[in-house]
Structure formats: C-alpha cells, structure tokens
C-alpha cells in the first residue's frame, strides 16, 4: 500500500506535537534570555530569542492545523486545508526577520566583546536547551513524515535548527571562556545563518504547495496502474496537495457504448481501489470520455 498519511488523525497528532513544542520552546527561550543576561553571553541570548521566535512559529502552525479541520462553507467551498500551508509560509517569513535581527546584534557585539560571567551556568543551560530541542525536533519530524503535513515539516526543520543553534552557542561560549572572546559573537552570527537557511527552504516548500505544485511521478504511476486495471485508458492525471490530503482529477477514456449507470459503477470501483491502495486520498474527480465514437468527441459522462 502506498503510504501518505491517515487523514484527520494527522491533524490531531500534529496539533498535539505543535502545542507541546510551543510550550517547550517558550520555556527554553525565557531561561536562555535570563541566563544570557546573567552571563553576558550574546550567543546565549540570541539562542533564547531564537527559541521564543520558534515558539511563535510553532503556535502559528498549531493554529493553522486547527483551522485546516474546518468544514467547507459558503465562502471556502474547498474547505480550509491550505491554511496549514499558509501558516507554514507565514511562520517561515517570521523566521527571516528574527534571523536578520540576531545577525545585526551579534555583528555589533563582535567589535565589543565582553568577558562572560558564570560560564559554567551558560554551558549547562545550552546543553540542556539543545538536548530538549533535539528531542522535540525528532518527535515532530516523525509525525511530519507519517502524516505528510508540510507545516510539521517546517516545524521539524525549525526545531532541528533550534537544537543546532543551541549546540553552536555551546561551542561558542566554551571557546570564549578559553580565551577567544569574539567567538561568542560569532556564535550568534552562525545561529542567524541557521535561521535564514531553514526559512528559505520552508518558504520554498510552502509556496510550491500553495501554487498547486505536486511533483510526484511515482504516485502518478501508481494511480495509472490502478485505473488501467479496469480496462480503460488514462488520458491525464492532475494531482495537488491540500493539507495532508492528495486531491485532483483523473481523465480517462472508456467504451463509448457504456450506459450512465455503468459509467457510474466504473467510477465507484476505481475510487474504491484507489482508496484501498493509497492512504490519505482526498477528493478525487474522475472524468470519463467515450472512445471509439468520433461523433461524441469532446463529450464526457
């Protein structure tokens, strides 16, 4: 069976993970900022502000997942599934702002390095923050892979970046205490680079989903093989992603002598087989063109 996701279950698990990650990142960020002020470490404070911004990102993803579950209405005829991708895009844009701010502040400190106070406390704080962020990142990545949610992929990348930033700051603080005070500021600049690089990747992926890009040739081949088992010819398969679902239109040509009832039964069988082989299949339209009758060219059932 072609595994994609399991529909609504993905949203429920995604909400839970995003909520826990939001609270975790808020706690990490506040602790890092307080300890950063105590120890005069710009890289520690940069990582703290990064964690707080990450908590905002996770919060937006969480809200996006909640909105995606709303049923279609008179204004949004296809539902709110793409809100999830829009939230991921907005979150990534926020990451760019944070990255540039951290880079600027770290650049200023590079020319005015300070001796760190209580470096042991700073090191312990960063080690704990990095370990906890990495655990949450792996948890979110597992959920993103299982349920194919682009917002969770953004969150996982963001959390991995957060963990990497903490470990980078850890190395920078250690080097600073070893007689290289400028390394603390350089650590902040590297963290800013992490933020911007992950933001770029996230913006690219979310934008492609929002403009209905879906480069999945292996999935198209699976659809074609399933459909052609029913003795019809596949003319075109158009797929796109909406939240955790794969939706689209399949255009086929079938015997022009089939009655409407027979065509309807054929469609039902094909959709049944598709759902049996492909998890996470959303609304799939099947358009049937008659074959072998030139007088009916351009018509469909």
User: pLDDT 10s per residue in the chain (301 long)?
Assistant: 444 444 556 667 777 888 888 898 899 999 999 999 999 898 998 889 888 877 877 787 777 777 767 788 888 888 887 887 887 788 888 888 888 988 998 998 888 888 889 999 999 999 999 999 888 888 888 877 777 666 677 778 778 878 888 999 999 999 999 989 899 999 999 988 888 887 888 788 889 889 988 888 998 999 999 999 998 999 999 999 887 678 899 999 998 888 889 999 999 999 999 988 887 788 899 999 987 655 554 566 6
Structure confidence at residue 9 (pLDDT): 66
Domain residues of the chain, as ranges?
8-210, 217-296
- CATH number for domain 217-296, candidates 3.30.70.1350, 3.40.640.10, 3.40.50.300, 3.40.190.10: 3.30.70.1350
Output the pTM of the full model: 0.72
Beta bridge partners of 248: 239, 284
Query: Which numeric CATH code is attached to 8-210?
Result: 1.20.1510.10
Q: How many Cβ atoms from other residues are within 10 Å of residue 261's Cβ?
A: 8
Question: Going along 9-142, which residue ranges are E strands?
Answer: none
CB within 8 Å of 291: residues ≥ 6 apart: 233, 253, 254, 255, 256
CA distances from 190 to 10, 154, 161 (A): 34, 20, 11
167 burial level (CB within 10 Å; 0-12, 13-18, 19+): middle
Give residue 6's pLDDT.
Answer: 45
Q: Sign of the CA dihedral 186, 110, 52, 99?
A: negative
Q: Which tokens go with 168?
A: 């980078």
Task: Please give the pLDDT value at position 3.
Answer: 45
| Residue with token string 């049996």 | 276
């Amino acid at each position: 069976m072609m595994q994609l996701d399991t529909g609504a279950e993905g949203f429920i698990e995604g909400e839970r993970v995003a909520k826990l990650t939001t609270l975790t990142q808020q706690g990490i960020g506040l602790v890092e900022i307080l300890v950063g002020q105590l120890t005069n470490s710009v890289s520690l404070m940069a990582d703290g502000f990064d964690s707080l911004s990450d908590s905002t990102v996770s919060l937006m993803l969480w809200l996006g997942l909640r909105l995606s579950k709303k049923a279609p209405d008179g204004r949004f005829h296809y539902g709110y599934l793409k809100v999830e991708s829009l939230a991921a895009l907005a979150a990534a844009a926020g990451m760019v702002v944070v990255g540039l701010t951290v880079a600027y502040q770290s650049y200023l400190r590079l020319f005015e390095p300070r001796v760190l106070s209580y470096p042991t406390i700073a090191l312990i704080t960063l080690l704990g923050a990095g370990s906890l962020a990495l655990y949450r990142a792996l948890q979110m990545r597992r959920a993103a892979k299982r349920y194919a949610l682009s917002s969770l992929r953004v969150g996982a990348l963001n959390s991995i970046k957060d963990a990497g930033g903490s470990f980078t700051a850890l190395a920078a603080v250690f080097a600073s205490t070893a007689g290289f005070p400028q390394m603390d500021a350089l650590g902040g600049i590297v963290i800013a680079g992490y933020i911007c690089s992950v933001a770029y990747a996230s913006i690219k992926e979310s934008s492609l989903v929002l403009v209905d890009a879906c480069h999945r040739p292996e999935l198209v081949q699976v659809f074609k093989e399933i459909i052609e088992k029913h003795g019809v010819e596949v003319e075109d398969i158009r797929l796109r992603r909406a939240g955790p679902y794969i939706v689209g239109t399949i255009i086929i040509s079938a015997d022009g002598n089939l009655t409407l009832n027979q065509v309807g039964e054929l469609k039902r069988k094909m959709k049944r087989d598709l759902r049996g082989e492909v998890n996470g299949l959303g609304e799939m339209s099947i358009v049937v063109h008659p074959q072998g009758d030139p007088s009916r060219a351009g018509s469909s059932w």
